[in-house]
Structures are given as structure tokens and as C-alpha cells.
């Protein structure tokens, strides 16, 4: 699996040649070995891409992200049928009962709130929301039937970005958050495909129109990394996001995070989490290897 993220800001054509991604721009040609790449992000709507290259992306487990005129990701292509025991994995996913799903979601929500608390301790340092979120940790039961995840998120964002902040508004901060989340979820989707997991079959998310329910379940504990980054730059963010800022958000995949007090990049961390998810429903030992944000 690759380690590089390729951003194509402007290009006439990209194609496959000698096991490499070839990027042509005016009089220059750049080549990147496919084995080094984990995903490609295209911002230029005029770029021509060959179907042979798309096929090779699939063979090499490379995700492709397409952006719109505002440079916001709108489409994700990920490897299909990459795993050699796809049907076995799919059947095992189908057998996961609600009790297991509830316990998995309990663990995810708890880690998300724990990471949110860490972010608040590094940023706003407001005692009331930190105290409230801490008390919610003991109230997460039966697949978070009390919706402590949703309630804590509202309080958390207001402490982080001010009482007037509302998620999903069309503003610079929300644009930055959405971009960062999409980059991480694209890495999760890619890794799910490599392990042969069906992205439709979520743990908690179960929308009939969301092809990536499972990816958005596993995204939750990673959101705080994006939140902290956006907070640090909140006074400098403009809309649309600058190219340099978008590159920084993409580079968050190389940021370190903790697993059992050991540091790993987010890209590798995702791999550890998915392996623990597979182990949980395969063996009945329901313990997710969830990431912990590092204090800065």
C-alpha cells in the first residue's frame, strides 16, 4: 500500500505508463510510481484522465477524489473486489447482531467524546463543557440510546468556535471541517476496500442512500484531529479554501496519533482500527483499537 497523496491542481492530462502515473502540464511531464500512491485528488475540472489509468488505480488500491469548481471533494472512486475473500468477509459482516453493533458504537462514541475533551483542554479550556462531556462518558449505553454523541457535539462545537457557530452552515470554518473530514474518510474507504469490507453495512449509520455508512462510523474518533487543526487556523481561513490550506488538510493523514501509547500516522492508525473491527466480529472479542489524539 502506498504512502503518498498526489494533488493535481492543474493538468492537461493524466495517464498510465510503465507502472507510473504520468501527469502532463503544458511542456512538463511528471511521473509518480503507482506503488507509492494511496490516493489522487484532482482539482482541475479540465483534466483528461484515461480509463486505463482508472483501472490501474483499482488494481493498486488507489483512491481517486474529484473536486468541484469550489475545490470541494464531490466524488470518491475506490478499489472494487480487491480482497481475495470478499464474499467471506461480506457474509461475516451480515452476521453481526445488534448487541455487537451497540457495543462497537458505544466504544466509538466514548473515544470520540474523550478526544473532544482533549481538544477543549488544548483550546477553549472552558470548564463547564469539559465537565459535561466528561460526565457523558458514563452515560453511553445500548448503542448510545441517550444520544450523548449528538448532545456533546453541539456543546463541543460552541465551546470551540463560539456560541453563534452552527454546523453545516456555508461558511469558511464549516468548509474547512468538511474538507478535512472528507480526506480522512476517503482514506478509511480505501482501507475498507483493501480489507474486503462492504462500506454500505455500517455499525450505527444505516442510511439507504449513503454508500459509505461504515466509513462514517469509523471516522468519528478522527474528527477531533481536523477540529483542532481548523481551530488553530480559524482566524486565517478564507472561503474558498486556499490551495496551501487544502494541502495542509490533506497532510493531516501524516499527523501522528496514539494507539496504546504508541505513535502512528493517521493513515496507519486507520489500518489498525479496521483490523480490530474485523477481529471483533470474527472472534467475538469486541475491542476496537481506537485512536487517541495527542496533547500539543
Whole-model pTM? 0.90
C-alpha cell at 10: 492543474
Higher pLDDT, 240 or 108: 108
Please, what is the Cα angle at 156 between 153 and 162, to 5 degrees? 125
Which residues lie below 8 Å from residue 162, measured CB to CB, with a gap of 6+?
none
Higher pLDDT, 1 or 296: 296
Query: Stretch 6-27: mean pLDDT, rounded?
Result: 93
Collapsed DSSP state (helix, strand, coil) of residue 126: coil
Query: Stretch 4-29: mean pLDDT, rounded?
Result: 93
Q: Which domains does the chain have, with CATH numbers?
A: 4-77 (3.100.10.20), 86-283 (1.20.120.920)
Per-residue pLDDT at 265: 96
Residues forming beta bridges with residue 292, ordered by sequence position:
258
At residue 105, does pLDDT exceed 80? yes
Q: What is the pLDDT of residues 250-291, one digit of tens each?
A: 999 999 999 999 999 999 999 999 999 999 988 888 999 999
Query: Stretch 95-102: mean pLDDT, rounded?
Result: 93
At residue 87, does pLDDT exceed 80? no
Q: What is the pLDDT of residues 235-246, one digit of tens each?
A: 999 988 999 999
For 263-288, the three-class secondary structure string (H helix, E strand, C coil) is EEEHHHHHHHHHHHHHHHHHHCCCCC
Q: What is the pLDDT of residues 117-165, one digit of tens each?
A: 999 999 999 999 999 999 999 999 999 999 999 999 999 999 999 999 9
At residue 83, does pLDDT exceed 80? no
Q: What is the pLDDT of residues 17-46, one digit of tens each?
A: 999 999 999 889 999 999 999 989 999 889
Q: What is the pLDDT of residues 159-207, one digit of tens each?
A: 999 999 999 898 999 999 999 999 999 999 989 988 888 899 999 999 8
Per-residue pLDDT at 31: 96
End-to-end CA distance of the chain: 29
Distances (CA, A) of 286 to 103, 112, 174, 279: 7, 17, 34, 8
Amino acid at each position: 500500500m502506498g504512502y503518498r497523496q498526489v494533488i493535481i491542481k492543474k493538468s492537461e492530462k493524466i495517464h498510465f505508463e510503465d507502472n507510473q502515473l504520468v501527469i502532463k502540464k503544458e511542456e512538463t511531464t511528471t511521473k509518480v510510481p503507482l506503488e507509492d500512491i494511496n490516493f489522487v485528488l484532482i482539482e482541475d475540472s479540465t483534466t483528461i484522465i484515461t480509463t486505463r489509468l482508472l483501472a490501474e488505480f483499482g488494481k493498486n488500491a488507489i483512491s481517486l477524489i474529484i473536486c468541484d469548481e469550489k475545490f470541494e471533494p464531490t466524488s470518491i472512486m475506490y478499489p472494487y473486489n480487491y480482497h481475495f475473500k470478499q464474499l467471506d468477509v461480506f457474509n461475516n459482516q451480515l452476521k453481526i447482531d445488534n448487541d455487537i453493533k451497540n457495543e462497537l458504537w458505544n466504544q466509538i462514541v466514548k473515544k470520540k467524546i474523550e478526544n473532544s475533551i482533549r481538544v477543549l483542554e488544548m483550546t477553549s479550556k472552558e470548564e463547564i463543557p469539559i465537565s459535561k462531556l466528561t460526565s457523558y462518558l458514563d452515560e453511553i449505553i445500548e448503542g448510545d440510546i441517550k444520544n450523548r454523541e449528538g448532545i456533546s457535539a453541539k456543546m463541543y462545537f460552541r465551546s470551540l468556535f463560539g456560541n453563534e457557530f452552527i454546523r453545516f452552515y456555508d461558511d469558511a470554518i464549516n468548509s474547512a471541517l468538511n474538507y478535512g473530514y472528507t480526506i480522512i474518510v476517503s482514506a478509511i474507504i480505501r482501507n475498507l476496500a483493501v480489507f474486503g469490507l462492504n462500506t454500505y453495512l455500517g455499525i450505527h449509520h444505516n442510511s439507504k442512500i449513503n454508500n459509505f455508512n461504515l466509513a462514517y462510523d469509523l471516522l468519528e474518533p478522527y474528527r477531533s484531529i481536523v477540529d483542532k487543526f481548523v481551530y488553530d487556523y480559524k482566524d486565517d481561513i478564507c472561503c474558498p479554501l486556499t490551495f496551501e490550506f487544502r494541502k495542509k488538510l490533506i497532510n493531516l493523514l501524516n499527523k501522528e496519533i496514539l494507539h496504546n501509547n504508541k505513535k502512528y500516522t493517521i493513515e496507519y492508525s486507520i489500518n489498525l482500527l479496521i483490523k480490530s473491527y474485523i477481529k471483533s466480529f470474527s472472534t467475538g472479542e469486541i475491542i476496537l483499537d481506537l485512536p487517541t489524539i495527542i496533547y500539543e
